[in-house]
């Protein structure tokens, strides 16, 4: 399943996509420590797999949270840390 | 030299007259969906208060969102330029201007000479502007002034989550049902909007001397929460609603 | 604009339903789902997987009380008590506050399952327009979620967004759809990114002499545009179906269809119960799995 966490408002759309089937197979969950804003947390999903998601109170401020990371030339820290290549972005 | 500035805001229209760089008259009228009529009204009123007529005015400059409609000035200036000039004029050591209107908010960073270094505008989301505060005050059944005073008397550091004015109204009502005090809810409301402005400030770069202008600047509770979030003192000049109109009138004097 | 306090224009009709084709629930597997949303709460009771009774009401100020009121209203005049519910699942924003539930499941999963029941195995894209959020969900033929995307930051595209215009124009929420088509020509939409700006624009249009019907058309058009953006961002795959309260508002749904050039499947029951229905179905699946395991031992 592709879970998209984020929002769209007048300034644009900001969604982080997580492919939960790929994420479920990974035991590292490297994204959690890689993100300086601590956006990622784990949970047992409805299919009883351990997957990551964006914490609820951070979903509607992604433009600000990710601004620093997005401003650089390199790949986003979370996507770079993800061995399962499960993380994507709508912007 | 006599110059005039009119700030056509979405909620209120403000007009000022400057004589040799000094503020001699000002007037305010609700815009009420007819920017042109309101602009004419404040112009007449401020000239009358200054004891002058149109012939005496050397130059008139229009600013504000209504300048798209009100085209009878000598020229116009955008809100960023007007706010920058006005704020520097009334508080000379201003480095960052927070200009909050009814529907939009601007954060402007100034160079030493007063020119604009960088700015951020939010005019896409009403939750970072005066409309948000009025809606919350209505939900609390108080005026915005009272909400400011209540907020200063908070005892608990209540946090609010809703980003949208419409959802925030529901959130305030739930907090009232949950028996939270108006003081704590007012504080939570102000902290919410202060955090939203904080992200704009981070984008222009945090420096020292803050000045806040625009209608909501009179809300002491809001200013206190913003001070807390940015970790800086925030000055609010008298006549906070008229500062951009003053900036427009100053611009009028510049280009002579 | 004078606000008429007597009638709450935003208040839609609460309802309670009993399946006339099931006279007696005894001997059947009774499972329940309760969906506590920020705006409305539904309780659905299934007898052997078939809808037996449900209730749909406004969420009160206290979530656990709302859950209890909802299930009690659904059980009213059936002879059922909480003890007769073999398994109950709580879902929705307030799902942890269903005191009598055995488990909680996210609303995305429940809406997909409920949508699959209401609309059948061909549905692949479900649009749920709730009270304070808007979700685009993709599912397979079994009603299992394959992707989702949600907006709960802005009121644009949500039930609360519709309530704002209902209050402004003193029109009942249930009448908005019909009225929005009583126009000569489809007007340009108001702001589709912010309900507050849309409301401001609507007020101005009223002052400029527009009829309520025309203003409603402009507003519904804006809401539809907002929702279409979400659907396109998540990807549209037919068949398409709509759940949630706003599914009953033809002012928005028909415009979504015409903007995207597609037709949504026609519902056979109240679209607001999709979440609670899905929860009750999942409850039944859990019980059956357990019983099959026990039988195998």
Give the CATH architecture of domain C15-114+273-296. Answer: 2-Layer Sandwich (3.30)
User: What is the pLDDT, as a whole number, of residue C4?
Assistant: 38
The string of DSSP letters for B186-243 reads HHHHHHHHHHHHHHHHHHH---S-EEEESGGGG-HHHHHHHHHHHTS-EE--TTGGGH
Judged against a pLDDT cut of 90, whether residue C14 lies above it is answered with: no
Q: Rounded distance, CA B139 to CA C215, Å?
A: 26
Chain B: give the shortest CA distance to residue C196, in Å: 7
CA distance B34 to chain A (A): 25
C234 touches chain A (CB under 8 A): yes
Nearest CA in chain B to C206: B33
With an 8 Å Cβ cutoff, is A79 touching chain C? no
Report the C-alpha gap between C176 and C240 in whole angstroms.
Answer: 23
Give the pLDDT of residue A48: 83
Interchain contact, A61 vs B163, CB within 8 Å: yes
For residue B178, the chain C residues in CB contact (below 8 A) are 61
By Cβ distance, the residue of A2, A45, A59 closest to C147 is A2
CA distance C139 to chain A (A): 9
pLDDT single digits (tens) C152-206: 999 998 999 999 999 999 999 999 999 999 999 999 999 888 999 999 999 999 9
Structure confidence at residue C117 (pLDDT)? 96
Q: Which residue has the tokens 């489809």?
A: C186
pLDDT band at C2 (very low <50, low <70, confident <90, very high): very low
Q: Give contacts of A21 with chain C, Cβ < 8 Å.
A: none
Angstrom distance (rounded) from CA A10 to CA B144: 26
Interface test with A, best of C125, C149, C150 (most A CBs within 10 A): C149
Q: Where are the alpha helices (DSSP H) in chain C?
A: 63-75, 107-119, 159-169, 176-179, 195-207, 212-234, 250-260, 274-296
Q: Measured between alpha carbons, how far is B160 from B184 in angstroms, rounded to an integer? A: 10
Output the pLDDT for position C5.
42
ipTM for the predicted complex comes to 0.92
The secondary element (H helix, E strand) that includes residue B95 is: none
Q: Number of structural domains, chain A? A: 1
C219 touches chain A (CB under 8 A): no
Instruction: Report which of C97, C84, C108 is spatially closest to residue C32, judged by C-alpha positions.
Output: C84
CATH number of B93-236: 3.30.420.40
Q: Residue C6 pLDDT more than 60?
A: no
**How far is the C-alpha of C17 from the C-alpha of C34, rounded, in Å?**
15
Say whether C203 and B33 touch across the interface (CB within 8 A): yes
Q: Is C85 helix (H, G, I), strand (E, B) or coil?
A: coil
Show residues of chain B in contact with A64, CB under 8 Å.
199, 202
In chain B, list all ranges with CATH 3.30.420.40: 1-91+240-256, 93-236
Is pLDDT above 80 for C9? no
The CATH H-level superfamily of C121-264 is ATPase, nucleotide binding domain (3.30.420.40)
Rounded to the nearest integer, the mean pLDDT of chain B is 94
pLDDT exceeding 90 applies to what percent of chain B? Answer: 89
Per-residue confidence (pLDDT) for residue A72, from 0 to 100: 82
Residue contacts between A and B (CB atoms, under 8 Å): 15
Enumerate residues 6+ apart whose C-beta is below 8 A from C155. B164, B165, B166, B167, C132, C161, C164, C195
Q: B203 preceded by cis ω (within 30°)?
A: no
Question: Which residues of A fall within a CB distance of 8 Å from B203?
Answer: 67
Q: Does A13 touch chain C (CB under 8 A)?
A: yes
Is pLDDT above 60 for B230? yes
Any chains having at least 3 CB pairs less than 8 A from chain A are: B, C
Q: Would you place residue C1 in the very low, low, confident or very high pLDDT band (cuts 50, 70, 90)?
A: very low
**Would you say residue C7 has pLDDT above 80?**
no
Q: Report the DSSP pairing between strands C87-91 and B75-76.
A: unpaired
- Compare CB distances from C204 to B33, B131, B166 and report the shortest one's residue: B33
Contact call for B166 and C195, based on CB within 8 A: yes
Q: Looking at the complex, does the CB of residue C58 fall below 8 Å from at least one CB of chain B?
A: no
Contact criterion met (CB < 8 Å) for B164 and C203:
no
Half-sphere exposure of B244 (CA within 13 A, CB side): 35
pLDDT number for residue C269: 87
Q: State which residue of chain B sits closest to A7, comparing Cα positions.
A: B163
* Nearest beta carbon to residue A60 from set B163, B202, B203: B163
Q: In which band, very low, low, confident or very high, does the pLDDT at B65 lie, cut at 50, 70 and 90? A: very high
CB C287 within 8 A of CB C29: yes
Instruction: Report the pLDDT value the prediction gives residue C268, as an integer from 0 to 100.
Output: 85
Q: Which of A61, A89, A63 is nearest to A76 (CA)?
A: A89
CA distance C236 to C256: 12
Tens-place pLDDT, residues A33-68: 999 999 999 998 877 889 999 998 899 999 889 988
CATH code of residue A79: 3.30.70
Give A 47-76 residues with CB within 8 A of chain B: 57, 60-61, 64, 67
Sheet holding B116-122, edge to edge: B116-122, B105-110, B96-100, B210-213, B234-235
Contact C34, C67 (CB under 8 A): yes
At C241-272, the pLDDT tens digits run 999 888 889 999 999 999 999 999 999 889 99
Per-residue pLDDT at C129 exceeds 80 = yes
Q: Which helix (H) or strand (E) holds A67?
A: helix A67-71
Contact across the interface for C204 and B177, Cβ inside 8 Å: no
- The pair of structure tokens assigned to B237 is 């000049």
Selecting from B125, B161, B199 the residue whose C-beta is nearest the C-beta of A10 gives B125
Q: Are B84 and B244 in contact (CB under 8 A)?
A: no
Task: Considering only the beta carbons, identify the residue of A11, A60, A61 that sits closest to B124.
Answer: A11
Task: Parse chain C into domains and list their residue ranges.
Answer: 15-114+273-296, 121-264
Is pLDDT above 90 for B149? Answer: yes
Q: Is the pLDDT of residue B180 over 50?
A: yes
Report the pLDDT value the prediction gives residue B256, as an integer from 0 to 100.
Answer: 62
User: What average pLDDT score do residues C6-24 get?
Assistant: 80
Task: Tell me how close the Cα of C229 comes to any Cα of chain A, in angstroms.
Answer: 9
Order the strands of the B12-19 sheet from edge to edge: B22-30, B12-19, B2-8, B59-63, B75-76
Rg (C-alpha) for chain C, rounded Å, is 20
Whether the predicted pLDDT of B53 surpasses 50:
yes
Kindly report, residue by residue over C103-114, the tens digit of the pLDDT: 999 999 999 999
Name the superfamily (CATH) of residues B1-91+240-256: ATPase, nucleotide binding domain (3.30.420.40)
């Amino acid at each position: 399943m592709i879970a998209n966490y984020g929002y769209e408002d007048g300034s644009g759309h900001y969604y982080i996509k997580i492919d939960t089937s790929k994420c479920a197979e990974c035991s590292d969950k490297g994204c959690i420590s890689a993100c300086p804003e601590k956006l990622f947390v784990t949970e047992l999903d409805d299919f009883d797999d351990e997957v990551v998601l964006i914490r609820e109170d951070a979903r509607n401020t992604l433009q600000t949270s990710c601004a620093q990371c997005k401003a650089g030339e390199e790949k986003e820290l979370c996507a770079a840390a993800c061995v399962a290549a499960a993380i994507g972005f709508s912007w | 030299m006599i110059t005039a500035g009119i700030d056509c805001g979405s909620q209120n229209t403000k007009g000022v007259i400057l004589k040799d760089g000094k503020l001699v008259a000002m007037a305010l009228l609700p815009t009420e969906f007819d920017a042109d009529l309101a602009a004419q009204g404040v112009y007449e009123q401020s000239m009358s208060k200054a004891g002058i007529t149109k012939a005496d005015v050397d130059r008139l400059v229009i600013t504000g969102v209504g300048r798209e409609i009100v085209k009878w000035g000598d020229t116009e200036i955008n809100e960023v330029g007007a706010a920058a000039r006005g704020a520097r004029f009334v508080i000379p050591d201003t480095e960052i201007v927070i200009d909050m209107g009814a529907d939009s908010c601007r954060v402007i960073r100034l160079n030493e000479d007063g020119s604009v270094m960088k700015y951020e505008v939010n005019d896409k989301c009403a939750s970072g502007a005066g409309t948000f505060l009025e809606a919350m005050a209505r939900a609390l059944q108080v005026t915005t002034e009272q909400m400011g005073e209540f907020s200063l008397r908070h005892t608990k550091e209540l946090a609010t989550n809703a980003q949208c004015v419409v959802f925030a109204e529901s959130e305030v009502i739930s907090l009232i049902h949950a028996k939270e005090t108006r003081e704590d809810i007012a504080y939570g409301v102000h902290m919410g909007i202060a955090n939203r402005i904080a992200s704009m400030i981070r984008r222009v770069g945090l420096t020292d001397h803050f000045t806040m202008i625009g209608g909501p600047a009179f809300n002491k509770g809001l200013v206190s929460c913003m001070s807390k979030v940015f970790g800086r003192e925030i000055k609010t000049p008298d006549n906070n609603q008229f500062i951009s109109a003053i900036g427009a009138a100053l611009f009028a004097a510049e280009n002579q | 604009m004078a606000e008429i306090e007597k009638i709450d224009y935003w208040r839609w009709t609460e309802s309670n339903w009993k399946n006339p084709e099931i006279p007696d629930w005894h001997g059947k597997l009774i499972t329940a789902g309760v969906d506590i949303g920020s705006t409305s709460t539904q309780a659905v009771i299934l007898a052997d997987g078939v809808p037996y009774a449900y209730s749909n009401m406004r969420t009160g100020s206290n979530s656990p009380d709302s859950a209890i009121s909802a299930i009690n209203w659904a059980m009213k005049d059936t002879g059922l008590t909480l003890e007769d519910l073999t398994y109950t699942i709580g879902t929705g924003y307030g799902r942890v506050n269903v005191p009598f539930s055995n488990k909680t499941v996210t609303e995305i999963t429940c809406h997909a399952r409920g949508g699959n029941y209401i609309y059948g195995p061909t549905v692949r894209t479900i649009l749920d327009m709730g009270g304070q959020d808007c979700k685009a969900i993709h599912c397979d033929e079994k009603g299992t979620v394959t992707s989702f995307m949600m907006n709960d930051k802005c009121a644009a595209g949500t039930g609360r967004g519709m309530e704002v215009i209902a209050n402004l124009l003193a029109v009942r929420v249930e009448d908005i759809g019909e009225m929005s088509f009583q126009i000569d020509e489809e007007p340009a939409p108001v702001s589709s990114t912010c309900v507050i700006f849309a409301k401001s624009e609507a007020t101005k249009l009223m002052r400029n002499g527009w009829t309520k019907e025309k203003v409603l058309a402009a507003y519904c058009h804006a809401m539809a545009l907002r929702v279409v953006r979400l659907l396109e961002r998540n990807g549209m795959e037919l068949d398409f179906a709509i759940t949630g309260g706003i599914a009953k508002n033809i002012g928005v749904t028909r415009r979504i269809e015409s903007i995207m050039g597609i037709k949504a499947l026609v519902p056979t029951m109240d679209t607001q119960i999709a979440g609670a229905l899905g929860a009750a179905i999942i409850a039944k699946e859990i019980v059956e799995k357990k019983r099959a395991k026990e039988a195998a031992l």
